[in-house]
Amino acid sequence: MGYFLQQLINGLTLGMIYGLIALGYTMVYGIIGMINFAHGEIYMIGAFLAVIGFTVLGLLGISYVPVALLIVLFTAMLFTAVYGWTLERVAYRPLRSAPRLAPLISAIGASIFFQNYVQLAQGARVKPIAPVISGGYTVFEEGGFTVQLSYVQILIWLLTLALMVAFALLIQRTSLGRAQRACEQDRAMASLVGIDVNRTISLTFVIGATLAAVAGVMVTLYYGVVDFYIGFLAGIKAFTAAVLGGIGSLPGAMLGGLILGLVEAFWSAYFSVEYKDVAAFTILVLVLIFKPSGLLGRPEVEKV
């Protein structure tokens, strides 16, 4: 029971991180119908920015955790926003009316570029940071097994939930959100009611990138290590989460992330840690075969 509870906590935490990254995938897919395979690298850059940020703040002697955390979060979001914007500008916008394969290849190219760029700039070795937030609550104890809910996990939950609420409000209530939904449904028509489609698409990339940055910072806090390669796997898993939830559906991305996180946690706990990726990608295969529209996605309606 205790073991189960602990895995549930771990799985939810992991799931929220996947969910945050998956939002970026699903948003971009919704608006331009393309999978941004370089999105995982944006997350990786966010994680690196966190390492750099905390290290620099440590050197400057700013060690009060809430302040340090806020500074790191904002700088990471700011920088990844620039990366996201540039990525769209350089790798996707010139190919917007090209055949679908072209932007896909361009996305994979951008992804490889970012990995190598970070590897060159930061070195290939794993970068550790000293734990910034340590400790936690003991939820309960049973026969010598303690179920821990760490402060980092609580932070991840709260931050993710807050971002989800803010994000839902942005999409539902603001005119930017409305413009995004309009572009999703009919891009040409959106421009005919005076919406700047290019800017809306740019902002979509920027928002997706900042969410990925938050996920990157959280992961750095959670695991304490990053390397230039983490974006690949996390990206593909978040993509799996987005597909599982129904690509294009925002609540679906979050739900898919949570399910994937839980499956991974329980699989590692009860079967084998080595094969947890197999579990994750088996889901991807099964969903694509049996329910390609995902859990919350709308099935593709044939246009007459």
Partner 1 sequence: MSALLTVEHLSMRFGGLLAIDDLCFAADERRITAIIGPNGAGKTTVFNCLTGFYRPDVGRLTLHRPQGPLYLERLDGYRIAQAGVARTFQNIRLFPAMSVLENLIVAQHNVLMRASGYSVAGLFGAARFRRAEAEAIEFARSWLERVDLVERADSPAGSLPYGAQRRLEIARAMCTRPRLLCLDEPAAGLNPRESAELTALLRSVRDREGIGVLLIEHDMSVVMGISDHIIVLDYGKKIADGTPEQVRHDPNVIRAYLGEAEHEALPAEIAADLRRDDRPT
- Angstrom distances, CA of residue 194 to CA of 33, 96, 200: 21, 20, 12
Q: Which is nearer to partner 1, 60 or 166 (CB)?
A: 166
142 touches partner 1 by CB under 8 A = no
Stretch that binds partner 1, among 63-71, 82-90, 187-195, 269-277 (CB under 8 A): 187-195
C-alpha count within 13 angstroms, C-beta hemisphere, residue 88: 23
C-alpha count within 13 angstroms, C-beta hemisphere, residue 41: 19
173 touches partner 1 by CB under 8 A = yes
CB of 20 to partner 1, least distance (A): 18
278 touches partner 1 by CB under 8 A = no
DSSP assignment of 80-110, as one string? HHHHHHHHIIIIIGGGTTS-THHHHHHHHHH
Nearest to 236 by CA among 195, 187, 285: 285
Place of tokens 């709260």: 158
Length of the chain in residues, anyone? 304
Q: Which is nearer to partner 1, 201 or 265 (CB)?
A: 201
CB of 189 to partner 1, least distance (A): 5
175 touches partner 1 by CB under 8 A = yes
Instruction: Kindly tell me which residue out of 1, 78, 189, 278 binds partner 1, with binding defined by CB under 8 A.
Output: 189
Q: Which is nearer to partner 1, 183 or 238 (CB)?
A: 183
Instruction: Kindly tell me which residue out of 9, 27, 195, 221 binds partner 1, with binding defined by CB under 8 A.
Output: 195
Nearest to 149 by CA among 141, 184, 96: 141
Q: Which is nearer to partner 1, 61 or 194 (CB)?
A: 194
CB of 169 to partner 1, least distance (A): 6
> From the centroid of its chain, how far is CA 256?
12
181 touches partner 1 by CB under 8 A = yes
Residues 143-172 that bind partner 1 (CB under 8 A): 166, 169-170
Single-letter code of the amino acid located at 95:
L
Q: N- to C-terminal Cα distance for the chain?
A: 54
Binding site for partner 1 (CB under 8 A): 166, 169-170, 173-179, 181-182, 185-186, 188-197
